Amino acid sequence: MSVSFKILKSHGLVYVRYEGFARLEDTMRTFGEYAQHPDCRPGQKQLVDLSDVTGIEENFAELMKLQAAKADVFMSEGAQTIIVYYAPNALSRKMCNMIVRSWEPFDSVVALVMEDEAQALSVLGLAETSISQLLTTAA
């Protein structure tokens, strides 16, 4: 599977990691698991790590359907969700261009793209300066 998630309750954060070829089907399946998780909450901050993406499925119409399904979860109860995409290379930034455009219709989702790992964490209000440090302190 090319995508996984971990809810870091102590940080009020969901860490999402993509590896390899990013397929919309994998994203939808994993998001469904997240939506059913007992620790899933509207408005949880999201950190999406795209540093290990090696390829992307480019289907904007299907991406829009996926984002609408995600928005139902993210925005329930009137919540606002901030999603920070860590995109340190050209391919991950290309993926972000599609993703950020797909969030434009949803006022309650704030999507930011960061090329620097420490900056991505800082924007989320985290003291850690690396994702590995974050995962260690949250364990």
* pLDDT > 90? residue 139: no
pLDDT digit string, tens, across residues 19-39? 999 999 999 999 999 999 999
Quote the CA–CA distance of 89 and 8 in Å, as a whole number.
25
Q: The domain 3-134: what is its CATH number?
A: 3.30.750.24
Quote the CA–CA distance of 128 and 76 in Å, as a whole number.
29
So what's the pLDDT on residue 95?
Answer: 92
| Amino acid letter, 19 | E
pLDDT digit string, tens, across residues 39-93? 999 889 999 999 999 999 888 888 888 888 888 888 877 789 999 999 999 999 9
- Tell me the domain boundaries of the chain: 3-134
Structure pTM? 0.93
Decide: helix, strand or coil at residue 111: strand
Quote the CA–CA distance of 119 and 117 in Å, as a whole number.
5
Residue 126 is classified by DSSP as -
